[in-house]
Amino acid sequence: MKTLIENCVYRIGLKIIGFYLNWDIEVKGESFIPLKAIIVSDHVSRMDALILAIGLKRKIAFLSRSFGCGIPPLPNNIGQINMNKIPLRNTFDIMRKYLERGYLIGIFPSGVRNQEGQESEFKNGAFKYSYHLDAPLVPVSIKGMSKAWPEALRFPKRGQKIVLNVGEAIKNTGNICSDKRFLREVLNSLYQQY
């Protein structure tokens, strides 16, 4: 029963937010996302977690070291795995439970926000989690957020176009250095496509 209520709250919350912002969110390649996966994306705005959840129409639990992933508090539609409150040894178990409940895991592998289209160095976490959870990495580029919510504005603009380009799932090889390079190349390619 709780899952049914969570799903209803999730859908209603996302519809309200989508209606208020009136953003045109276009998703390309959504069929590449398997049931169990880790979504990896560049982090360009405070709304990235919300945009991914709205656009991909899936429940996503985001790994974060800061409270709220920079988004306003919402019901259980967007899970948060707060790395500051959870001992590292328990992280895998918590992520596994989210995956079993039908959530995707969301990670911004650079760990910080960066300018749209700008490269940033990836941390190792996403690759370690992918390997140990046997969940593929799914790269998603977010395009249009720098116009929708420029850093200088306190609130986002209404009526903007956002494009989510989803790449094919990448099975983790266990070689973090080559996987990081490959993922960066894929995200750059996705960003340049549209």
Quick: pLDDT tens for 53-63.
888 888 898 88
Please identify which residue in the block is written with the tokens 């919300």.
50
**What residue type is assigned to position 166 of the chain?**
V
Tokens of 168: 């094919």
Q: Could you give the number of structural domains in the chain? A: 1
Is the entire prediction scored with pTM above 0.75? yes
Q: How confident is the model at residue 10 (pLDDT cuts 50, 70, 90)?
A: low
CATH value at residue 105: 3.40.1130.10
Please identify which residue in the block is written with the tokens 């990836």.
122
Cα(59)–Cα(106) distance, rounded to whole angstroms?
A: 10
Tokens of 100: 């079993």
For residue 10, the enclosing domain spans 2-193
Tokens of 163: 């494009």
